[in-house]
Each structure stands twice: as structure tokens, then as C-alpha cells.
Amino acid sequence: MTRKNRFAAAIAIAAGTALLATGCSSGGAADDGNGNGNGKVTMTFWHNSTTGPGKAYWADTVKAFEAKNPNVTIKIQAIQNEDLDGKLQTALNSGDGPDVFLQRGGGKLNAMINAGQLLDIKDSISADAKKSISAGTFSGYDAKDGTYAMPVAVLPEGIWYSKDLFEKAGIDGTPTTMDELNDDIAKLKDSGVDPVAVGAKDAWPAAHWYYNFALRACSEKTLTGAAESLKFDNACWTKAGKDLEAFNDTKPFNKGFLTTAAQQGAGSSAGLLANHKAAMELMGAWDPGVISSLTPDAKPLPDLGWFPFPAVEGGKGDPKSMMGGVDGYSCTAQAPKKACTDFLNFIVEKDNQEGYYKAFQAIPVNQDAQSVVSESYLKSALAAYKDAPFVSQYLDTLYGQNVGNALNTSVVDVLADKGTAKDIVTTTNQAAAKG
């Protein structure tokens, strides 16, 4: 599964009566818009799994749903993750948006809710979904006494690594502090391998390093409060930038990281780890599936491991706190309600969630399906997630599109030696002031 939290913020949705190629839902003349009566309902569905088992999973799942619901047709459009934001916003602004689409929550979700662009599914969530998915997992999509997306996967973040390359470099165990991480990076360099892969070409993967330094530097109150105030004046934001600068000074990243993509091809950051060209990558729990698709045999990396982001001295954040997200799917306000919510309930049924895990190597939200998770790295990530006193959404999602884009870009500037820790704060505050 590819990342995640790069979705358009405020969007305008117009209802259409004709099905367009990218398009709006269309019901039959005798239909009530919900798949009832003798008419037919057609919905469009956008996701970001463009290759491999993930793409096949959605095709098979849609086919199975259509077999159970013969009056409903779902037309799928798979869009490369890094292209999805722009295409989604353009399509929805022109009235040709999908009925169902990948939703990340945070400030972007709130903007859609405030604009009246999403369907409230609270009263349509099945009893089985309510029983098998925790209220805490749903909470990220709750607002104004409603629920605006169905969660499908839990995505705790951490550092994915090659056990073989660690062993080759003489590293015993995994680092728990930044000093230990820096020592391991030196050992990996000596062994002739790039220590850390990062796809800075796409900006957001590089920015995740700053997010995690901010998670360690700032208190939970500061991080969550900024989502309301959009003010980044606390000294912890600058400290996070300085911690990033200090880390960057150790030259930990792969050669050419500023022009490296995140998830496309063997030369991407995920591909470097998949092919043992780099030893580590900081990423969310969709990464194992991406890595698997990029190994030489397109199978899971047998020596893949995971550990949480290390503790950082001098901060106010709890060292067990994590960055993390929940993948989910929303229905637009114009979607046929019954057909759309039936589909959302269908995709979180136990069997479908088990299939989701097998296709994406990601942790399903259905707690009954989590028993099938067998990989030690996913078990470790899930255990840390459950033990975390605080899990923050990825900051570019939490703070909305404008602030998120400014934050991501300014972090890359720091890594390229074109900006400073202070510039991150200044640029972010300027973007927030513009609204």
C-alpha cells in the first residue's frame, strides 16, 4: 500500500446524472438513488494501489461485492499515490469526482466536512463493523456528531530495516536512542551500504523525519493544539528542526536522496531497502507491501525488521509516542447512500480484512482479522501502537494541505542545505496565516 496522507483539502462536489470516465454516480430511471427499485446504481471508486496484489485485491473485492449486490456497478480507477492529490481535487472541483475514495483524516477531512462534501455514515455503520473495529479507531473520522469515513488499516510508523545488513555491519540489536542510531549509521557506512533511504523527491518522506523529531520535542498538548490554532511558535518546533539539522550533518541518507522517489521502482527509497542497497527507511506500516513489490522476486523481504523511532534528549514528548495513521474510505455527499455505505461495511468484514492484510501486508482494523498477522515486524509495530500513550497523525495531514505542503517543502530545503530550522517554523507560520 502506498502512502496515504496526501489528499486534497477543500473540494467542491457537484452531482451529475451521467457517468463520466472519472466520474460521478449514476442511477437508473426507476431507482431511488440507493440501489433500490428496478434501476441500477453505478459508483466510481478511487484508490492508490496501481500494481501487484493491492490492485488485484480491490478488483476482486469489488467483483465480490457486485455479485452480492447485482444492482450496483463499481468502476475502479487506480491512481499513483503521488498523483492522487491533484487529480482528486481537480476531478471533484469540476463535478466529476469519485463516489468512494481514500481518506486520511486530519485537517483535510475537516475541510471537506465543513464544506458539506462528505456523507455522514454514522447511522449506516453495520453492527458487525461497530463490534470488530474499536471506537478509538473510528474517532479519527468523527466530527460534528457524525462519522465521515470507514477505517480499513492501522498504520503505525517506525524504521524498517534489513536484518542481514545490520548483521553484516556488526550491529547487535536495534537502536533505542539517537546516539545509538548514529553509531549504527557509522557502522553501516563502514560496511559499504547506504544507511538510510529517503525519497526526498516526493518531499513528504523526508518531512517524516521532522515529524518524528517534533513528536519527541513537543508535548502532546502542543502537537494537538496546533491543529486548532495553526500557530507554531513553541520553541519545540525549532528544536525539532535543529535535531533534524544535526542528524542530516551525519550524512545518513542514500546517495542522490534529493532526487530519489519514495515508492516507484527499484531505485526508489523503498526499492533500495528491498534490494539491500540501503539498510533502513522511516515509513508507515504500508511500507512492507511496497517493499515486497520491489524485491527481485516480488515477494516479502525475508530479513525485514522494524523498530520505533528512537528517543531524543531534551524534548517534552513521551519517548513511546508514535506517528501513525489510519487508512479509510469516504463517500462523497452526492454518492448513493445505501450502495456506498453497504460497500464500506463490506470491505471491513473479517474475510475481506484478512484478504486486505495478505494483499498489502498491512495491519487490518478489524480486530478479529488481526489474528492472521504473522510477520514479526508487523506484530512489533502493532504492539508498540497499542502501547503508545499518544499516536499523532502525520503532520501534513493533521494541519491541512497548505500548512502541510509548506512544512514538507521547508524540511527538504533544510536537508538540501538551502534552509534552516528557523526557516521551517517561519515558512509554516506564513502558510498558516494565509489560510
Q: What is the pLDDT of residue 7?
A: 31
Which pLDDT tens digit goes with each residue over 258-315? 999 998 899 999 999 999 999 999 999 999 999 999 999 999 999 999 999 999 999 9
**Residue 18: pLDDT band with limits 50, 70, 90:** very low
pLDDT greater than 90 at residue 329 = yes
* Higher pLDDT among residues 175 and 5, named by residue: 175
Which pLDDT tens digit goes with each residue over 346-362? 999 999 999 999 999 89
**Residue 430: pLDDT band with limits 50, 70, 90:** very high
Q: What is the pLDDT of residue 233?
A: 95
Rounded Cα distance, 9 and 85, in Å? 9
Mean pLDDT of the chain: 89
Q: What is the pLDDT of residue 39?
A: 67
* Contacts of residue 141, Cβ cutoff 8 Å, sequence gap at least 6: 103, 105, 109, 147, 148, 149, 150, 151, 326, 328, 330
pLDDT greater than 80 at residue 134 = yes
* Contacts of residue 46, Cβ cutoff 8 Å, sequence gap at least 6: 76, 77, 78, 79, 84, 88, 98, 100, 101, 102
**Residue 86: pLDDT band with limits 50, 70, 90:** confident
* Contacts of residue 344, Cβ cutoff 8 Å, sequence gap at least 6: 100, 121, 124, 125, 150, 329, 331
Q: What is the pLDDT of residue 28?
A: 35
Rounded Cα distance, 292 and 279, in Å? 15
**Residue 400: pLDDT band with limits 50, 70, 90:** confident
Q: What is the pLDDT of residue 179?
A: 97
Which range is least confidently modeled, 70-74, 89-93, 95-99?
89-93
Single-letter code of the amino acid located at 293: S
Q: What is the pLDDT of residue 11?
A: 27
Q: What is the pLDDT of residue 183?
A: 98
Which pLDDT tens digit goes with each residue over 282-295? 999 999 999 999 99
Mean pLDDT of 225-241: 96
Which pLDDT tens digit goes with each residue over 26-82? 333 334 455 444 569 999 999 988 888 899 999 999 999 999 999 999 999 998 877
C-alpha separations of 376 from 155, 304, 307, 310 in Å: 15, 9, 11, 19
